[in-house]
Amino acid sequence: MAIDVGVFGAAGRMGRTVCEAVCADPELRLVAAVDPYHEGLDLRSVTGVDCDLHIGLDGGTLAEAGATVAVDFTVAAGARENLHWCAENGVHAVVGTTGLGEEDLTELASIFTSSNCVVAPNFAIGAVLMMRFAELAAPWFPTAEIIELHHDLKVDAPSGTAMLTAGRMAAVSSGWAPDPTVDHVVEGARGGRGPGGIPIHSVRLRGLVAHQEVLLGTTGQSLTIRHDSFDRSSYMPGVLLAVKAVGERPGLTVGLDAILGL
């Protein structure tokens, strides 16, 4: 039986891609689309997704349509409200919205008792694997650097994924070689220092989407792990996987690792 899905943020860049992906999956059915800034509009005209729905104001739209899983790609403040609604109404939630902190996660763990919630800061399966591979390799390489490359509209640096990667590498290895650089001809030439002192270099270039390389070096050899997201469709296999898995994962699940069996 198909899973009935509602999408919060349906008119946004990620939301419309999710609507499209849900509609194209025979195991899922798009039954509700919510976006307060596009309320009342025909989903087809706003997103181009060929589905006969009107965009609703809030969770009530999901309740009327009988959605059992909600997907949220909105803004942190909106997601907090939407997730409270999901928890109170027994609707499972799959959350990609960024900007939720540790306090939010603690709260989500306490409120999702009658339905479940999956929060993933990165739904690209390749990026999740890249982080896991970097974590596995870290103890075997005394030097490592991360280069993250993004489009030229990204306003923060380094990326959350780069920080998370460095954090996971630092957590499993403390044997990092000291940096011998004493003469910094140009300030910042050695990048910023992430967790464990791992250098992180941020590239911002028009035409790029989201890319990352983890370079690890030891005697006579190096290992490079690279992931590229070419467009928003790269996140959809992970989102769809989470939508299908969330009903079987009691409480709060953070990250796709557990769902991928890593």
Q: Which residues are catalytic?
A: 150, 154
- Among the listed residues 115, 114, 117, 122, the one whose alpha carbon sits nearest the alpha carbon of residue 97: 122
Q: Coil, strand, or helix at residue 80? A: helix
- 121-140 positions binding ligand NAD, by CB under 6 A: 121-123
Host H or E run for residue 128: helix 125-137
Q: Which of 3, 4, 5, 8 binds ligand NAD (CB under 6 A)?
A: 8
Residue 96 as a binder of ligand NAD (CB under 6 A): the answer is yes
| 33 Cβ neighbours under 8 A, 6+ residues apart | 6, 7, 10, 11, 15, 19, 43, 47, 51, 53, 54, 55, 56, 61
Quote the least distance from Cβ 79 to ligand NAD, whole Å: 7
Q: Does 257 bind ligand NAD (CB under 6 A)?
A: no
Chain centroid to Cα 156, Å, comes to 16
Contact status: 15 vs ligand NAD (CB under 6 A) = yes
Q: Residue 40 CB, nearest distance to ligand NAD (Å)?
A: 13
Residues that contact ligand NAD, how many (by CB under 6 A): 26
**Is 98 an interacting residue with respect to ligand NAD (CB under 6 A)?**
yes
Given candidates 47, 61, 68, 97, which one binds ligand NAD under the rule CB under 6 A? Answer: 97
Burial class (CB in 10 A: 0-12, 13-18, 19+), 213: middle
For position 89 contacting ligand NAD by CB under 6 A, the verdict is no
Q: Which of 36, 167, 191, 192 binds ligand NAD (CB under 6 A)?
A: 36
What secondary structure letter does DSSP report for 178?
A: P
Please, which residue, 12 or 199, has the CB nearer to ligand NAD? Answer: 12
The CA distances from residue 45 to 32, 42, 73, 87, in Å, are 15, 5, 20, 31
Among 19, 21, 33, 34, binds ligand NAD (CB under 6 A): 34
CB-wise, 75 or 172, nearer to ligand NAD? Answer: 75
Q: Rounded to the nearest whole angstrom, what is the least distance from the CB of residue 122 to ligand NAD in the complex?
A: 5
Closer residue to ligand NAD, CB minimum distance, 37 or 140: 37
Rounded to the nearest 10 degrees, the angle between the axes of helix 76-88 and helix 102-111 is 10
Name which of 112 and 141 has its Cβ closer to ligand NAD. Answer: 112
Question: Residue 144: left if φ>0, alpha if ψ -120 to 50, beta else—which one?
Answer: beta
> Which of 27, 37, 190, 197 is the binder for ligand NAD (CB under 6 A)?
37
Q: Output the smallest distance, CB 207 to ligand NAD, in A.
A: 18
Q: Which of residues 101-120 bind ligand NAD (CB under 6 A)?
A: 120
Q: Are the CB atoms for 165 and 196 separated by under 8 Å?
A: no
Q: Which residue is nearest to ligand NAD (CB)?
A: 12
Could you tell me if 30 and 19 are in contact, meaning their C-beta atoms sit under 8 angstroms apart? yes
Query: For 64, how many CA atoms within 13 A lie in the half-sphere containing its CB?
Result: 12
Dihedral sign (CA 115, 120, 124, 125): negative
**Residue numbers of the site for ligand NAD (CB under 6 A)?**
8-9, 11-15, 34-37, 73-75, 78, 81-82, 96-99, 120-123, 235
